[in-house]
C-alpha cells in the first residue's frame, strides 16, 4: 500500500471513529442528563454531532478529504473521474473499509467511556417507510451540500456547512439523519439512544445509496462544470 494512501486511510478510520464516538457518546450523555425529555435529548445529541463533525472536517479535510462516509467517497470518485481530481475508483473500497472499521471502534469507545459493555447489539428498530424516506432525503442533501461547495470553489465552507446541515437534518428528517452507511453499521453496536437494530441496517443502507444517487444527479444538473471561483 503506498504510504500516501495509508495516511489517508488512517485519517478516514480515525475520523469516522471520532464521529461515531461523538454521536453515540453525546446520545448516552443526553439520555442520562435529560431522562424525561426526549426532545431535549435530541437537541443535545444533534448539537454535539454538528459541532464535532465540523471540527473533524476542518482537521482531516487536508489529509483525506474527510469523507467519513462511503456514499461521499463513491460520489467523489464518480464526479472526479472526468477531471481526474477526485478519489480513484479503486480506492473507494479501501476508504469504505477504513470507515466501517472506524465506526465500529467509535461505538465501542463511546460505550466504554460511559461504563457500558464495549460491544452491544442495538434493539432500536428503525424500519418504517418514513425512516427510509428520511434517510434518502438526508443523504441526497448531504451529497448536494458537499459537492456543490467543492464544484464552485467554496470548499473552505465545508466544515461549517456540513456540520450545520447534519445538525438541521436531525430535526427535519424522520430518521434523524444517519446519512452514512459506515456510521449506520457502527451504531448497531450500541444499545443506547443512538443505536439501530441490525435488522434495520439493510433498508437504511439501501435508502442512503438511493439518496446518494439522487444527490449526485442534482449536483451534475445544477453544477455541471467545476469552478475555481470563490464566494
Which residue numbers in the chain have pLDDT < 70?
A: 1-3, 82-84, 228-231
Give the largest CA-CA distance in the chain: 53
The pTM of this model reads 0.94
In 3D space, the residue among 125, 127, 119 whose CA is nearest the CA of residue 190 turns out to be: 119
- 180: which 3 cell numbers? 452514512
Q: What is the pLDDT of residue 231?
A: 36
Residues 6+ apart with CB under 8 A from 173: 134, 135, 137, 138
Q: What is the pLDDT of residue 137?
A: 98
- 171: which 3 cell numbers? 430535526
Domain ranges of the chain: 3-222
- 61: which 3 cell numbers? 479535510
Q: Are 96 and 182 in contact (CB under 8 A)?
A: yes
Task: Given CATH 1.20.58.340, say whether it is the number of domain 3-222.
Answer: no
Ordered alpha helix ranges (H), 34-88: 38-64, 70-80
Residues 6+ apart with CB under 8 A from 221: none
- 164: which 3 cell numbers? 450545520
Radius of gyration of the chain measured on its C-alpha atoms: 17
What DSSP letter does each residue of 93-138 carry, written as one string? HHHHHHHHHHHHHHHHHHHHHTTS-SS--------SHHHHHHHHHH
Separation in Å, CA 35 to CA 17, 28, 125: 26, 10, 20
HSE-CB at 218 with a 13 A cutoff on CA atoms is 17
Burial of residue 210, with CB atoms counted within 10 A of its CB: 0-12 exposed, 13-18 middle, 19 or more buried: middle
Q: Are 223 and 193 in contact (CB under 8 A)?
A: no
Cα 174-175-179 angle, rounded to 5 deg: 130
In 3D space, the residue among 176, 78, 91 whose CA is nearest the CA of residue 126 turns out to be: 176
Amino acid at each position: 500500500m503506498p504510504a500516501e494512501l495509508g495516511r489517508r486511510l488512517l485519517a478516514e478510520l480515525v475520523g469516522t471513529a471520532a464521529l461515531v464516538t461523538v454521536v453515540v457518546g453525546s446520545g448516552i450523555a443526553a439520555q442520562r442528563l435529560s431522562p424525561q425529555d426526549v426532545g431535549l435529548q435530541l437537541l443535545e445529541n444533534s448539537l454535539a454531532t454538528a459541532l464535532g463533525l465540523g471540527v473533524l472536517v476542518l482537521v482531516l479535510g487536508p489529509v483525506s478529504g474527510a469523507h467519513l462516509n462511503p456514499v461521499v467517497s463513491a460520489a467523489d470518485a464518480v464526479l472526479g473521474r472526468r477531471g481526474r481530481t477526485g478519489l480513484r475508483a479503486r480506492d473507494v473500497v479501501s476508504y469504505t473499509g477504513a470507515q466501517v472499521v472506524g465506526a465500529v471502534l467509535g461505538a465501542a469507545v463511546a460505550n466504554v467511556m460511559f461504563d457500558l459493555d464495549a460491544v452491544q447489539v442495538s434493539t432500536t428498530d428503525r424500519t418504517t417507510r418514513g425512516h427510509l424516506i428520511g434517510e434518502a432525503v438526508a443523504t441526497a442533501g448531504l451529497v448536494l451540500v458537499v459537492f456543490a461547495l467543492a464544484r464552485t470553489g467554496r470548499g473552505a465552507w465545508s466544515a461549517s456547512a456540513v456540520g450545520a446541515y447534519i445538525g438541521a437534518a436531525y430535526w427535519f428528517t424522520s430518521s434523524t439523519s444517519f446519512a452514512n452507511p459506515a456510521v449506520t453499521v457502527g451504531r448497531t453496536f450500541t444499545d443506547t439512544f443512538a443505536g439501530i437494530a441490525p435488522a434495520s441496517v439493510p433498508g437504511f443502507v439501501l435508502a442512503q445509496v438511493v439518496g446518494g444517487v439522487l444527490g449526485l444527479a442534482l449536483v451534475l444538473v445544477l453544477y455541471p462544470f467545476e469552478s475555481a471561483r470563490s464566494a
